Structure formats: structure tokens, C-alpha cells
Amino acid sequence: MQNTLLKVDNLKKYFLKRSSSLKNASYVKAVDDVSFEVFEGETLGIVGESGCGKSTTGRTIMRLLEPTSGSIKFDGEDLSTLSKKVIREKRRNIQMVFQDPYASLNPRHTVKKILEEPLIVHKLGNSQERKEKVDEYLEIVGLDSYHAKRYPHQFSGGQRQRVGIARALMTNPKLIIADEPVSALDVSIQAQVLNLMQRLQEDLKLTYIFIAHDLGVVRHISDRVAVMYLGSVVELAESESLYAEPLHPYTKALLSAVPIPDPSYEREKIIITGDISSSFTDSGCKFQARCPYATVTCKMNTPKLVEVKPGHSVACHLYSTD
């Protein structure tokens, strides 16, 4: 039996649209009733195209954004109800790694200062202990202690992301939310950083939420994958099951763009047209305008995420039994 580290229930994050008036408020439903669990020691991949709400989900779990509604239970405690002061302390246990390490690392600070900062914020260790931990973690992520004196611009992209990962690890977190951590890197460097993250996960017993827009990237690192479309999780399954037998038409379309290593294996190909902005609808399935299987039912009723096989859930009327 796996222990649940994070349980997100009916999470919503709506942003007021700039164009809306006081009388007629309208919202971007960036995260629209999302529920999932993350088990201790696993990697949950979250995948979907640009604007589907992946980062907002991550940032709302961290309470960097205030949830509109829903609960976020981490280690048995509901983060959504804690005061801002308490939540700042709790963030020691949940850290983020960002897509663009150059933008997320202060260019005027040395790596030593960047890595020490989380320790100072959380009042961990004296100056000597902090220095030792900086050296230790530089080594853990494959850098050297002499790198501590350097500034972010003196590193390559891959090295900078190693610094970003080291910074996230400084407070010994349990959960890392990695928001497209390799998307900005060259393909050859991506593999190195992914390997590093996998090694760190084993050595430090970490749990990951790994966000990407490409199913190819999350395949090897994820135990389970959640596919998001316009603020909703449309499919959630173990990686193997999702890649071998995708159920949701949107997942099939995403996988149609991923090369198949074994050419003798045929996978149904779905090419979708239009972009996510063509999908805003008041009722029914959000994917209806782009789905080749859409029926009248899809236009009237919103499909719920239901488990159709052990550990494999999908939100699509093609699989509903009622």
C-alpha cells in the first residue's frame, strides 16, 4: 500500500478576466475542479499544451497563488486553510524547480548566496553549517565547491538548472514541483538533467510532480501521468498503461506526435486541429470542438473523470457506462 503525500481535491483557481466589468465578471478557469493524489516516492507527470493550467496547478499547491476553492492535503494537513505565515514555514517541505533557471536565479547573487538563502529564510544552521551544506549540495548535483563563488551568467544552461535543483533541495523538502525543468535545455543536456533528477529521487527519497507540455519528456521519469486540458484532468494512469493504451482522444492526439520506438507497433493516430483557445465552451466536454468523436451528448454533458480500469481514469463519454 502506497502512502499518499499530497491529495488535491476539487481544486479551482479562477482569474478575473481583465476585460470583465464589475457587473459582468468573467473568469479564466485556469484550474477547474482538479483532483489527484501523489504517492510518497513517486513521480506524477502533468502534461498538456500551453495554457492548460499546469503551472497554475503547481503554484496553487504551493499557495504561491490563493486557491479559489478546494483542498490541498500535504502530509495529512490541509494547506489551503493555513495562514500565510504558517504556509511560508511549510514551504520548506515543498519546493519548486522552474523552467528558466536564468530568470529564477538572482543574477546579482553568487551561487553561495542563492543556495544559502532558503536556509536563512527557514533559520537552518549557522554560517559554517550553511557553507558546508552549500558545498555538499553543489557536489550532489554534479558541480564543484568552487562554483559557489560564481554568478548565474557564468554557467551553461544545464549547469544553471543544476544550481536551481540544488537550491530546491537545500531545505530537505519531501516534494519537488518541477515546472518544465528541461524544456529550455538542448536535447542532449535534457537527458543529463533528467538522469540527475532520477538519481536524486532515489538517493534523497524525493517525491516529484513533473510538469511538461510533451508526453515524450515525462515518459521515462513518471510513474503515473495526468493529462490536462483547459484546466481539467482528462486522463490519469500509470505511465505504461497511458502510453500503451491511451483512452482519451486528446491523449491519443498528444501521443500521435511522439515517435514510437518499435515501428511494428501501430498506435491509432489522431491529428487535432485548432488550438486551445477554440475550446472555450459553457457546457459539455471542453474538447468537443477539436474531437473527431464528439456527439450531441458531448455538447450537453460534461464528462467526469472515472476509473475505467484499475488505476486508469478518463473523462470522456466514449467510456461512460450510464
Ligand X SMILES: Nc1ncnc2c1ncn2[C@@H]1O[C@H](COP(=O)(O)OP(=O)(O)OP(=O)(O)O)[C@@H](O)[C@H]1O
> Does the footprint of ligand X cover residue 217 (CB under 6 A)?
no
Among 285, 305, 312, 313, binds ligand SF4 (CB under 6 A): 285
DSSP 136-198: HHHHHTT--GGGGGS-GGGS-HHHHHHHHHHHHHTT--SEEEEESTTTTS-HHHHHHHHHHHH
- Supply the minimum distance, in Å, between the C-beta of residue 318 and ligand SF4: 5
Q: b or e along 193-229 (b: 16 or more beta carbons within 10 Å of the residue's beta carbon)?
A: bbebbeebbeeeebbbbbbbbbbebbbebbbbbbbbb
- Supply the minimum distance, in Å, between the C-beta of residue 291 and ligand SF4: 3
Among 30, 209, 225, 314, binds ligand X (CB under 6 A): 30
- Supply the minimum distance, in Å, between the C-beta of residue 29 and ligand X: 8
User: Which residues between 245 and 264 bind ligand SF4 (CB under 6 A)?
Assistant: 248-249
Kindly indicate which of the ranges 16-24, 29-37, 239-247, 282-290 contains the residues binding ligand SF4, using the contact rule CB under 6 A.
Answer: 282-290
Kindly indicate which of the ranges 131-139, 212-220, 262-270, 281-289 contains the residues binding ligand SF4, using the contact rule CB under 6 A.
Answer: 281-289
DSSP state of 296: H
> Does the footprint of ligand SF4 cover residue 52 (CB under 6 A)?
no
Q: Which does 30 bind (CB under 5 to 8 A by kind): Mg ion, ligand SF4, ligand X, none?
A: ligand X
Name the grid cell of 297: 451528448
| 79 φ/ψ angles, rounded to the nearest 5 degrees | -65, -25
SS3 assignment, position 73: strand
Neighbours of 75 (CB within 10 A): 16
Name the grid cell of 227: 493529462
Name the grid cell of 74: 500535504
- Supply the minimum distance, in Å, between the C-beta of residue 295 and ligand SF4: 6
- Supply the minimum distance, in Å, between the C-beta of residue 16 and ligand X: 8
Neighbours of 299 (CB within 10 A): 13
Kindly indicate which of the ranges 16-24, 75-83, 93-101, 283-291 contains the residues binding ligand SF4, using the contact rule CB under 6 A.
Answer: 283-291
Which spans of this chain sit near ligand SF4 (rule: CB under 6 A)?
248-249, 285, 287-288, 291, 293-294, 298, 303, 316-318
Residues that bind Mg ion (CB under 5 A): 55
**Which residues contribute to the site for ligand X (CB under 6 A)?**
15, 28, 30, 48, 50-56, 213
